[in-house]
Chain A
Amino acid sequence: MRGPGAVAVSDFTLVSALGHGRAPTLAALREGRSGLVRRGFETARLDTWLGVVDGAEAVRFPDPLAGFDCRNNQLAELGLCADGFEHSVQRAAQRFGAARVGVFLGTSTSGILATEIAYRHRDPATGALPASLDYARTHNTYSVARYVRERLGLLGPAHVVSTACSSSAKVFATAARMIAAGLVDAAVVGGVDSLCMTTLYGFRALELVSTDICRPWDAGRAGLSLGEAAAFALLERDAARPAAWLLGAGESSDGHHMSSPHPDGAGAADAMRGALAAAGLAPGDVDYLNLHGTGTPGNDAAEDRAVCTVFGKTLACSSTKGFTGHTLGAAGGVEAAIVLLALQHGFVPASLNLRDPDPALHAHIVRETALRLLRVAASNSFGFGGSNACLVFGAADRVEGRA
């Protein structure tokens, strides 16, 4: 079952609107309790539901890291502390050496909120930004990977993937390739994205944000609900007691439109087939698929076609964005973590807020969280620019063989 390209997932965690760490996330998923709230954020007062992380503002950065102070790195810090994830990384650094641990993280907007706020406080005479804005450590796209490296003393190769909403799924593929090439023995992967004015007002301008709570696969779905999150996983060449295995990853482009998916989901289907091929699996081997499932009319329709083309109409599917909101560049990491929880604890999470299933869509959507032992589960992530990724994970105790 487990192919030669499989990589051990030795630990993982996440911080989202559902709470800090695995336990509150698991409880909310089992109880079908959404973290979305109708509320504002910072100075934005939009009529919408948001998945906001509690307690981010309270995070303080000690002196050598003070320049990293921004909401995105506050979320990253909450993630590193959740479930003792930082200690798992430090164990890997001791085992392999700090230079043999890579950092590959996804984000879409990084710490741009710091610059957005700075633009409200420009010098009236010169137009200059406040001296306090540390562009490199906050706004720049690389900021969060640099923060994680410096915070944990890691010295391996690092970069940030920023392909909109597929970013933090694609880093799993990057890390698996780097491990296979022998350049690193372990890697911190995942994604961090924080709410900011750019995405709140930008998605509204595109008329993709719903005033209602997001309702993936519903006939009356009217758009997405935005969220924020940090999600991390530690991938290793091998592990005596892994949490799960990354069995394969598939990536593709739509080559169709900057902000709309290919209507037939052709690129999305390529990514799913690519992930299955990399894992050496057939569609029937997959027990659960976590959909990208944003709840916009066009995205769900295209993904539905792609899923039905590759897997047929019987595979158990759900979108968990009704729990967390669409966490954009962190969504791939968040949903990988949810899939890993589902594999570990034996359940299929519900697709929340589905009242009136769209008769034009045919994938099998699970509406109530169901207990079920899973052997293999997959996660879809798609982004602007036509960027698609699919990850396939296997349960640690139900996928045979050790390295």
Chain B
Amino acid sequence: MTRVVVAGIGLVGPGLADWATGAALLRDPGGWVTAATVVPAPNRLPPTERRRAGTVVKASLVAADQALAMAGADPATLPTVFTSSTGDPLNCHLLCEALATPERLVSPTRFTNSVHNAPAGYWHIATASRAPSTSLAAFDASFAAGLLEAAVQVQASGAPVLLVACDVPYPEPLHAKRPVADTFALALLLAPGNRGRTLTLQLTGDATATPCPHAGLEGVRRTIPAARALPLLMALAGNAAADVVIEGDTGWALSLTVGAST
């Protein structure tokens, strides 16, 4: 059993512009309307990098900054965990296209940006942070795996950790192989302690993941790996205690107990 406190939250998703407005919609989903995700330009990046960075970098950084602002945290010393099922899908598609031509001309920037830890790299450069960072993937379990890793890090170090989860759709032809509906990013600033909004994690066997009680949001949850977090975000948007199971892989799932708002 691992217990952490949720000190800050960030969100960008379909019909969910940010955590401040999104939390109200997640509390009362009757007002939520489906709309394509709009990823604002991250102020954190200098203009040249803002142009070069892929959507996964932009959405990750926007969500991360929301969580930091909510908690008033200093990013310079904050360890980070970035999780994504797919990384930067457009960049990957363009690389594969270039490599299928006889010339195989690859742009150095495109290759550099192809690493799965590109969002982490850009974040730590932008915040001048030498704190540890990891970037991971677990297909549809990517959010659960990232949350587990971040919470275990908080427990091991006794210090806050920033978790950022983001998935972005592939263009065709890869979209047909791995359909991801839209961009979804969230950030949770996790801290040690018992005061505030507690989150208690336990591994369970193949427990059934908690669905969203709203059909539209349930569709989002099921079609974007990072949106597997939605039932947790809905619990955090409310004030009551709640139990949530997040999808893992065969043999494991993440059982979460969200403490009541204090």
Residue of A nearest to B95 (CB): A198
Number of A-B contacts (CB under 8 A): 208
CA distance A173 to B70 in the complex (A): 30
Asked if A119 and B99 sit within 8 Å, CB to CB, the answer is yes
**Is B124 at the interface (CB under 8 A from chain A)?**
yes
Please encode chain A, from 199 to 234, with 1 for each CB lying within 8 Å of some chain B CB and 0 for all others. Answer: 001111110000000000000000000000000000
- B219 CB within 8 Å of chain A: no
Mark A247-271 against chain B: 1 for CB-CB distance below 8 A, else 0: 0000111111111000000110010
Please provide the chain A residues from 363 to 403 with a CB less than 8 Å away from any CB of chain B in the complex.
383-387
- From B83, B118, B248, B251, name the one whose CB has the most chain A CB atoms within 10 angstroms: B251
Q: Is the CB of B251 within 8 A of A155?
A: yes
Contact residues in B for A383 (Cβ distance below 8 Å): 115, 117
* Docked pose: A204 CA to B122 CA in angstroms: 23
Residues in A with CB closer than 8 Å to B134 are 161, 163, 170, 174, 251
A-side contacts of B125, CB under 8 Å: 254-258, 386
**Distance (Å) between the CB of B23 and the closest chain A CB?**
28
Please indicate the chain B residues that have their CB under 8 angstroms from the CB of A274 in the complex. Answer: 132
Which of chain A's residues have a CB closer than 8 A to the CB of B146? 159
User: Are A163 and B130 neighbours in the complex by a CB distance under 8 Å?
Assistant: no
Interface size on A, residues (CB 8 A): 66
Total count of chain B residues near the partner, CB < 8 A: 66
Assembled-state Cα–Cα distance A181/B148 (Å): 11
Q: Are A197 and B99 in contact (CB under 8 A)?
A: yes
Check A255–B129 contact: CB distance below 8 A.
Answer: yes
Among B91-130, those with CB < 8 Å from A are: 92, 95-97, 99-100, 104-108, 110-118, 120-122, 124-125, 127-130
Contacts of B92 in A (CB 8 A): 112
CA distance A205 to B104 in the complex (A): 10
Contacting residues, chain A, for B72 (C-beta < 8 A): none
A202 with B149: CB separation less than 8 A: no
- Contact partners of A257 in chain B: CB under 8 A: 125
Residues on A with C-beta less than 8 A from B96 are: 112, 115-116, 119
Q: A28: CB under 8 A from chain B?
A: no
Residue A308, interface by CB 8 Å: no
Q: Which residues of A contact B177 (CB under 8 A)?
A: 129, 133, 135
Q: Let me know if A158 and B138 touch, CB within 8 A.
A: yes
Residues of chain B lying within 8 A (CB to CB) of residue A146: 139, 249
Q: Does B90 contact A (CB under 8 A)?
A: no
Known A129-B177, A386-B121; judge A252-B156 contact (CB<8 A): no
B250 at interface by CB-CB < 8 Å: yes
Q: In the bound complex, do residue A163 and residue B117 qualify as a contact, i.e. CB atoms below 8 Å apart? A: yes
Q: Give every chain B residue within 8 A of A204 (Cβ-Cβ).
A: 106
Identify the B interface with A (CB < 8 A): 2, 83, 85-87, 92, 95-97, 99-100, 104-108, 110-118, 120-122, 124-125, 127-139, 141-142, 145-146, 148-149, 152-153, 155-156, 172-174, 176-178, 203, 205, 248-252
Beyond the given A156-B251, A206-B112, please list 13 additional residue pairs across the A-B interface where CB-CB is below 8 A: A99-B203, A136-B178, A157-B203, A159-B146, A163-B117, A164-B117, A174-B149, A180-B156, A198-B111, A203-B111, A259-B112, A384-B121, A385-B124
